[in-house]
Each structure stands twice: as structure tokens, then as C-alpha cells.
Amino acid sequence: MKSSLSSEVYIVAEQVVRLVYPPALSNVPVINRLIRNYNDLSVNIIRADTSSTQAWLECQLVGSPGLIEGAIDWLRGQGIEVQTLGA
């Protein structure tokens, strides 16, 4: 009996980032759009803080290295400041 398992190898990486939102984006569903655009990326919100002038989220991003890099570039393109904190 032949195995139906794929022989492809996927490299999984993780990156913890802080996403700093400018006031103009405080009501924009950026994380929702990130997950829809990068559906193979796992996004885990670790902690968050919001105020009337600024909001930030610390998230763990898990996926292929290229997917994580693409997601970070996309976030920056949306006007989010992305600070890498570690793996």
C-alpha cells in the first residue's frame, strides 16, 4: 500500500513583532485583513494596549520565512510600524 503523505518539506519559522498603529488606523481591521491575505500564516496576539492617541499589539507570527517577511512588508505598506522583538 502506497502512502498518501506528501514528500514536500515545509520550513516553519516564528517571529514576535510589535505592531504600532497610528491614530488614523485605529478603527481599520488590519489584523483581519492580514489573516485573510495570508491565510497560511498563524497570528497569535500576545498582548495589546490602546489609548486615544496610539495602539500597539504584540503578535507571534508563525509560517514559512517568506510568508512572515511578506506579511511584515504588507503591514508596513498599510502604515503600521513593525518592530521585530524576537523568535
Number of domains in the chain: 1
Q: Is residue 4 part of a domain?
A: no
Q: How far apart are CA 38 and CA 23, in angstroms?
A: 24
Separation CA 53–CA 64 (nearest Å) = 34
CATH number of the domain residue 37 falls in = 3.30.70.260
Is 1 within a domain?
A: no
Element (H, E) at 56: strand 55-63
pTM of this structure: 0.82
DSSP string, 27-44: TS-HHHHHHHHTTTSEEE
Residues 6+ apart with CB under 8 A from 51: none
Summarised one tens digit per residue, pLDDT across range 20-67 is 998 888 788 999 999 999 989 999 999 999 876 778 999 999 999 999
| Owning domain of residue 40 | 13-86
